[in-house]
Structure formats: structure tokens, C-alpha cells
Chain A
Amino acid sequence: MKSVFSILNPRYHTAEEKIDIPNRIQRGPTDILRALESTVKTDLTAAHYKYHDDPFLIPMSNVGKRTFAMAQESGRKAAHWVRAQHPELFQHNAADPPIQMFFPKIVYNKDGDISEDNLKAAIKAVLVNDAIEIYKLCKEKGVEISPETMISFLEALCYNNGDEPLPEEFIEERWFRQSTKGKEKKRKTWKDGALAEEIFISINNPDEIAYSALIQGMSKYYQSDRAWQLFQEAQEKGIALNIETYNSLIRVSNFLKENYDLRWTFIVDLLTLAAKAKLKPNLRTLNAVLESLSLMGTSKNTKNLTLQTLSEFKKIGVEPALSSWYYVLNTFCKERGPVSWVLEDILVEIENKEHKIQDLIDTFFFVTAMDVCRNHLHDKELAKRVNKLLHHGSNYDLIGDSFKESIYYRHYFILLCQTEPLDTFMEEIYFKLVPHIYVPEPSVMGEILDSIEINTAIEYVPRIWSDMTIFDHTDREKLISSILNIMVNNHPEDKPDLVEKFGIIAWDIFTKIENQNEHRTQPVMFTGVMLGNILTLLLRNQDFEKATEIVEKLDADHQKVVGVPGIEPLKMYLDYCIRENAPSKAIVCIQYCAESGFQEAENMAKRLHSEMTLDETHLEKLSKIVGNFFIEQSLKKNENTT
């Protein structure tokens, strides 16, 4: 630059004023994007961005959401498969700078060169299967592997139990996997005598890292007895293990000791040993102790111990994370135990803070807290506070997976549906969250319908029905009869538009059940009451034609339809028949009544006879149904007239 200024005209670079040019503000590669993203808020009318924003392509039911997302994921997997099958097609380099993920997978075989670096790279990329392959090849070819690499290989094997973990890029699979990890039945899954143990044996004088890795691996996969043996072996040899090893052993204490007291002494012993080894306990130690305590029954002592543990760890500067509070909730709010309001105290601690994930179990907190709010305390204020915390900052990342999310919202919906005024619930919660954030399960729908019935809030029925059809709830007999009952029992006489809508809904229900797939395992069957209700609603909407179809259906499928409708709708239908001057239809109705064993059939026949002039054939039919006296009567009538 100096040379450039020297060539400038002197009057141009005599800087009599000093010009301060500020330094550039340093920023990361995605900082601008994040800043722009911060201006965008959530749009409740939109589906998740992974779906196409088009009414035809937005999944609406829980099954649909899962199917759409997994279909995308399966496409991704197909692409991976093609790449694995035809690596020769992917030798070009489309990206600059090169993207490792685009390159075909490296295949290791006997012909190629193998070195320790390959093994290191595979371990770093958590490609466990590849690492095992490379290790075997190295052994065959006699390639020397340094002890450090062997140890890190052992660690990788122990951490994953010798299995390949799910690749990180399959986000949807993780999200939708019905993961009950942590809650599932704990059982031994450690592979005894597998490669990990072989390597451990092959190491001369295994050091503390090797011991720690193997003990942690064994206790992670619940091979607790052998983990404990190894621990004792290490103690005898005077090998100093790290704190994580102690944590993992505390975690499996309920496998090692049956009795609660013995178990607690065992934990205390382990902690004393750790203290002697001058190890500083961390969050995972706290979580391990709390987890063990949460499995120790409902006695008062357990709760006291939990509180003591918390305060003691606080003293040494270990702040509990959400996972710790999850265990505390588990300890205090047992299904059969006394009611505990510990959640309120916990919320005071964690409210209005942004929480970062520190433990896998952190994702269990919100769903459990909401469960406690609903089932244990039945307190809507607490539920709202929990919900507020969930939506604070980026706390929503801790919701876990789709399964936990929907359970969370299930509890939230049912609790608020039962406790909040229905209007508030619908306005504030239902209309906002359904269907894009949460699709109510049939049980939740049932609760909402119950609430509507109690509050006689029939104006919500059309919306609920349209949601039910969209969410595929139309195959639930209970829900359908419930919504029909609501519509029949609350006749909106003063609102003609609602009457019309109800009529349409009733017909919709009828056609839905009529046209359901014949190959369903459990098709919905019409019941007499159901058809009676549909008939009532159609007649209220003055839809005689469709009502006739219902009556014909009743008459034709007499054997299939379970039970009979009440007499009221049939009487109503008869009135309509008289009004519409349709004697043959009326006779069908009366015949059905008679066949179904209604006493009123005779009265109905009389009524029909008195209010309408019937011809010979009709009279004949009527007399077949209810007896001969009609003809006599009519004869009399005729005589009188003549």
C-alpha cells in the first residue's frame, strides 16, 4: 500500500485531519443468519417447516405427521444406500470447499493400505463398525497400533457396546423413535466376551483409563456384577479411577444391592472412596445418587435423603440440572404416595431461566412435570408455569422427542380442559395449538367433548367435528355417539344455522360409517341409538329425503344394526311422512317399529290412518303389520261416507 500512496498527488495525501476508521466487528459464519432468525416468531397457523406449506401436503393427524417425515427420511436413506452401492458414481467433487459427507464411504479391505491413522479417524467419526473392521485388518497385517489409540478404541467400544450408533443426520428417525430410553425395563445388554473385553485383556497392565472405560461400559449396559468385580480388582491394584466410573457404579446400585438400606450404605461407601481418592463429584454424581434414591420406595427417609443430597451437593457447588429435578419429582410424587407440592419449590428454582442440556435425562423433566401437574396435583396454575418455562428462550429444545411432546400436550390439554372455563380453553389453547403443534388423541377429544356437553357449548361442535374428521377420529364409536348425543340433547332451536350444520354433520357421520373400508379389522358398527340420533338431526334440519334413507337403512339392515333407536325419532319421521304425503314411507317406518317390538306401532298406524287417506294396497299392508281391525275401521269409514 505504501507504494500506492507514494504515487499520489501530494495535495491528496496530506492528511491534516485524522480519520478514525473503526475496526470491523468480528462475527461468526452464521451470526448474521441467527440475527435475522431472531426477528421471526413462531407462526401458529403454519405446519412445521419440514413439511410443505400446502393444504394438500400438510399432515394433519399424528400418523400423518409421522408418515410424512419418515418418508422424507427414508428418501435420505435410499440416497445413502445408492451411494454405498455405487461409490464409483460419486467420485466427482461438486462442492468447494469439499464436504466430507458427500464422498462415498471408504471401504476397507485386505488389498488397501491400512494404518493407525485410519483407525484414529474412524474412532473420531464414531464409525464403530468401521473401526472394528480396521482393527481386524491391522491385526492381520501386523500393523503396529500405539497404546493410546488402543485405549481410545476401547473407549469407543465400551461407550457404544460395540454397536454402531444411529448416524446424527437422521433427525426425523430420532424424533419419532418411540424412545423410552431411561424408562424402559433395565436389563443386561452388555456383550459378554466381545471385542471390548478382548482388547482389555490384550493390553498389558491396563491403566486407569482402560479400567474406567470398561467399568463404565459394563455398568452403562447393566453388566453390574462384573463391573463391580473389576472395580474391586482396580482398587486392589491401587489404580485410581475417575469420577465417572464411580457415577456409573452408583447408577447400577439397585442391581448390586437388594435392600434399600444396604443400597444407601453402598452409595455412601462409594462416595467416601471417591472422596478419599480426592475426586470432585459433578452433576452426574448428583444425578446418579438421585436416580438411585428415586428407586427406593416411598418412605419418608428416602425423601429426607434426597433433600440432604441436594443441599450437600449445593454446598460443594454442584447445581442441579433439570434431570436432577426429574429424579426428585419421581421420588416425591409417586402414584400411590402422599401428595407432594415439591414441584412448586422446584419451579421457583428454575423459572425464567434458559436451560442447556447437561444430561440425556433432562428431556424427561417437562413431560414428567406436566404429568405431576395433571395427575398428582391437578393444578392448572402450576401447569401454566411449567408451560411458560418450556417456552422460555430455547428451552423447547428440551422437549425430547415427538412421543414426549404429545404426552406433554395430552396432560396439558386434559388438565386445562377440566379446570379452565371452556371458552378460555378453546380460545387460548385449542385454537392456537391444534393442529400444527399438537393433534389431540381420541382420549383428549373425548375429554373436550365431555366438557362441551357439561357447558352446553354447542357452538364448538362444528369445529370439533371437522377436526375429528381431519384427525381420523371418525372410527371411534365412543366419540361419534358422544358428539351425536350432544347435538341431539341440545337442540339449538333459536339458531337455525346451527341446526343446519348439525344436520350436515349427522349426514357426514352416516356416510363416513357407510363408506368405511370393508377390510378394516374393527369397523364401526351402527347402533340403533346412533341411527336414531342421526334421524332426529336430519329431521330437525327438515331433510326428509336423507331421513328416509336412514329409515330404509334401519329397515334393511335390521340384523346388523345393534339395538333399536328410541321411538321419538321414528314418531317424528312419521309426522314428516304425513306432512309430505308419503304413505308408503310411513308404512315402512311402522313396519320397522312393529318388527322392533315397539308397542307404539299400533298407535302410529292409527294415526296414519286417521290423518291420511290410504288406498287399498296401503291398507292391506298396514293390516298385515298391526292386525285386521284397520280394514274394518276403514270399511266403516267408507260406509259412513257413502
Chain B
Amino acid sequence: MSVLARAFDKGFVRSIPKSVSFYSVNTERIQEEEFRVLNLKSTRSQNIHAKKKGYKQNVLPPRTAQMPVDQDWGSVWPGPRTFHPATVPLPIRQGYRDKGAAPDKYANAELMKIPNFLHLTPPVVKRQCEALKKFCTPWPKALDTDEKCEKHFPIEVTFSNYCHSSPTIRDPLARIVTLKIKLSTLKLDEHARDKFRRLVGDRYDEETDTFTIVTDRCPTKKQNYEYAMYLLTAVYHESWEVEPWEKLKSDADMEAYDWNNSKSKQTIEELFKKEAKDVDNINEYISAINSLMNKGETKDTIHNYGLAVRKLLNLPVEAT
């Protein structure tokens, strides 16, 4: 009996839908041949479009539930990745709510927005360094201090490499090369040094005595490096050249006031009728006028200058 019932049931289910679909196709065709009617008051028959039963998916519980306490986190989260609540077994909260606690980790966009460093926990960093050690060479023993490094390797070249997830491995920024050198490490005399500084302009930083070249005009890093080296060499040799017109340099062109070549010295010698160095109190006067001319007129320099002149000319010191 039961078997019979089952067999009948199957046959029933199979045969019905076919005949139904056959009919429905036919009626549609007939309808197409007639005039189409604009049905303004259409009432949907609910039987035909019976609501489909929602399919409920079986979802695994978050795998944080299975994770043992002593698991190796570096294997669970091996690389940089957007935060995922089902993988991170921490009760993290992020964000703000007017009332109540901050939202928890599930469906929390705030946690997904911020970059995380879950892949770079201290043990992982240690482990990765250990693995990369075999590619590293030891630091030269002779170079134990910064001074020695600077002494033996005065030129510092900086460039950047970029790593992308894209079909191309090139990055336009990777071509830029920066070359730095301390001016004191170059073999320069007074004139050459002056000319060098005039040639490089604001590429020289007086505070650190560093000269910097940034090259980016060539398409590759190698070319830019070679170009920077060329520039350094060229500017160096150029600063040693003395052009004929350089002799035309006048006092006004001097970069700094030098009393020894000044009108002031001549006047003093005329006044005292002897060599300037033999004049009493001359040194004080020289430093005072030098600082006045080079540093500019400030209250101090003018005051000092006044004192020096009075001393030089044996005038009474004004009571202040």
C-alpha cells in the first residue's frame, strides 16, 4: 500500500506541471493575437505569483569559535587584509553611539575602514626577520661609528622602490634620486667654495653644510643617478674655473664685508698716519664694524660700533 502510494505520488508530481505549462503557453499566444488591452485596474491574482519560499542558507558559525587559545596567529592572518569579525577572535568595538556601548565587531564598517596591522604582531615580525636573515650580509666592522661612515662614504644617495598589486611593476616615483654631500668633504679653496655656493644656490643648506641634488628628469633610476653624479662633478670643476670677468668683482659684489679691503681701512691709515694694525684698539673696532656690516643694523651692533669708535678716537664714553 505504502509503495503504491509513493509511486502514485511521484507520477502525480511529475505529470502536473507539464500539462500546466502547456496550457499557459497556449493562452499567451491567443492573447498576443488579440488587441492588447490597457488594464488600468489590474488586480494581481495572488495564486499564480505565490510568494517563493525564502531559502535559508546554513551558515557556519564564525571560525573564531573553533580557534584554540594557543593557536599560531601568524598562520591565521598571514598578510595584510581588511578586518573580518569571523576571523579575528578579539572582542573589539569601534565607533560611537549616542546611548550605550560602542558597536561591536560584527557588521562594523568603522573597523573595516581603518588599516590594521594584525599581520605584523611582534612574534611574526621576529619570525619574518629570522627568515630573511639569510639574505643579509653583516655590517662592515670597520664602520662602527657614524663619523667613520660619514668619513669613508661622504656621498649619500637616496631613492625609493614601490610595490603594487597591478600588472605593471613600474612606478614613476621610483626614478627620483636624491644625492647629498657635505661641502666640507669637497676639496675647495676660498674662491671655489664661494663659486660653488653661488652655482648651487638654495640647494646648499648652511646649517648642516649639506649640498643636495634631486634628479628626476630621466626616465629610469640608473640614468638619474648617473646624471646626479655628473652634476656634482660638473659643478665642482666649474667652481674651480676662474673666468676673466670674475676679476671685475667690486665691493658691492662681495658676499661679505671685509674690513681689510674696505674704504674704512684707508681712512684710518690716513687719519693716524701709520699702518692700521699699529693703531690702538683697532681690533675691537674691526670686529665691531664687521658685525655691523655683515649682520645688519641692530641695537647691539650700533651700540658696539659707537663704543669702538669712541675708544679708537679717545673720546669720552657717553654715560648710559
Contacts and interface: CB of A to CB of B under 8 A. Distances in A.
A327 to B, nearest CB: 38
B75 A40 contact: yes
**Which range contains the number of B residues in contact with the other chain?**
35 or more
A89 B22 CA distance: 45
A622 B187 CA distance: 122
B140 A32 contact: no
B107 to A, nearest CB: 12
A3 B231 CA distance: 12
Contacts of B86: 53-55
B155 A4 contact: yes
B140 A20 contact: yes
Given A7-B186, A8-B154, A24 B137 contact: yes
A27 B127 CA distance: 20
B75 A42 contact: yes
Given A39-B127, A102-B167, A12 B154 contact: yes
Interface in A540-572: 559-560, 562-563
A579 to B, nearest CB: 33
Interface in B229-269: 229, 232-233, 236-237
A239 to B, nearest CB: 50
A39 B131 contact: yes
B26 interface: no
A32 B132 contact: yes
A20 B142 contact: yes
Given A39-B128, A42-B75, A96 B168 contact: yes
A17 B142 contact: yes
A1 to B, nearest CB: 8
A25 B132 CA distance: 12
Nearest to A18: B142
Interface string B178-198: 000000111110000000000
Given A54-B84, A55-B60, A19 B143 contact: yes
A166 interface: no
A291 B186 CA distance: 79
A43 B135 CA distance: 27
B76 interface: yes
Given A31-B135, A563-B2, A19 B140 contact: yes
Given A12-B151, A525-B6, A35 B135 contact: yes
Interface in A30-56: 31-32, 35-36, 38-43, 45-46, 53-56
A95 B76 contact: no
A25 B169 contact: no
| Majority secondary structure of chain A interface residues (helix, strand, loop or mixed) | loop
Contact of A22 (B62, B138, B185, B236): B138
B186 A4 contact: no
A17 B154 CA distance: 16
Given A39-B124, A470-B58, A55 B74 contact: no
A469 interface: yes
Nearest to A96: B168
Interface string B116-158: 0000000010011011101111101111000000011011000
A39 to B, nearest CB: 5
A146 interface: no
B57 interface: yes
Interface string B85-101: 01100000000000000
Contacts of A7: 186-187, 232-233, 236-237
B59 interface: yes
B11 to A, nearest CB: 13
Given A8-B154, A94-B168, A60 B131 contact: no
A519 interface: yes
A99 interface: yes
Contacts, number: 124
B142 A55 contact: no
Interface string B182-220: 001111100000000000000000000000000000000
B222 interface: no
B102 interface: no
A8 B84 contact: no
**Which range contains the number of A residues in contact with the other chain?**
35 or more
Contacts of A27: 135
Given A22-B137, A35-B134, A56-B59, A12 B185 contact: yes
Given A12-B185, A94-B167, A43 B137 contact: no
A75 interface: no
Nearest to B131: A35
Contact of B76 (A17, A25, A43, A469): A43
A51 to B, nearest CB: 12
A95 B167 contact: yes
B168 A469 contact: no
B78 A40 contact: yes
B47 interface: no
Given A41-B75, A562-B2, A9 B140 contact: no
Interface string B282-314: 000000000000000000000000000000000
Contacts of A97: 169
A35 B84 CA distance: 26
A43 B75 contact: yes
A251 to B, nearest CB: 43
B131 A8 contact: no
Given A32-B135, A559-B5, A470 B60 contact: yes
A22 B140 contact: yes
B61 interface: yes
A563 B6 CA distance: 13
Given A31-B135, A35-B134, A36-B128, A469 B187 contact: no
Given A8-B154, A562-B2, A46 B187 contact: no
Interface string A434-463: 010000000000000000000000000000
A43 B74 CA distance: 9
B147 to A, nearest CB: 12
A10 B140 contact: no
Contact of A8 (B134, B135, B136, B185): B185
B134 A25 contact: yes
Contacts of B58: 60, 469-470
Nearest to A12: B185
11 contacts: A4-B233, A7-B236, A9-B185, A12-B151, A25-B136, A32-B132, A39-B128, A40-B74, A43-B72, A102-B167, A562-B2
Sort A-B residue pairs by CB-CB distance and give the 8 closest, nearest first: A95-B167, A22-B137, A35-B131, A96-B168, A41-B75, A40-B78, A562-B2, A43-B75
Interface of A: 1, 3-4, 7-10, 12, 15, 17-25, 27, 31-32, 35-36, 38-43, 45-46, 53-56, 58, 60, 94-97, 99, 102, 431, 435, 469-470, 515, 518-519, 525, 559-560, 562-563
Given A43-B71, A43-B75, A46-B76, 4 more contacts: A35-B134, A55-B86, A560-B9, A563-B2
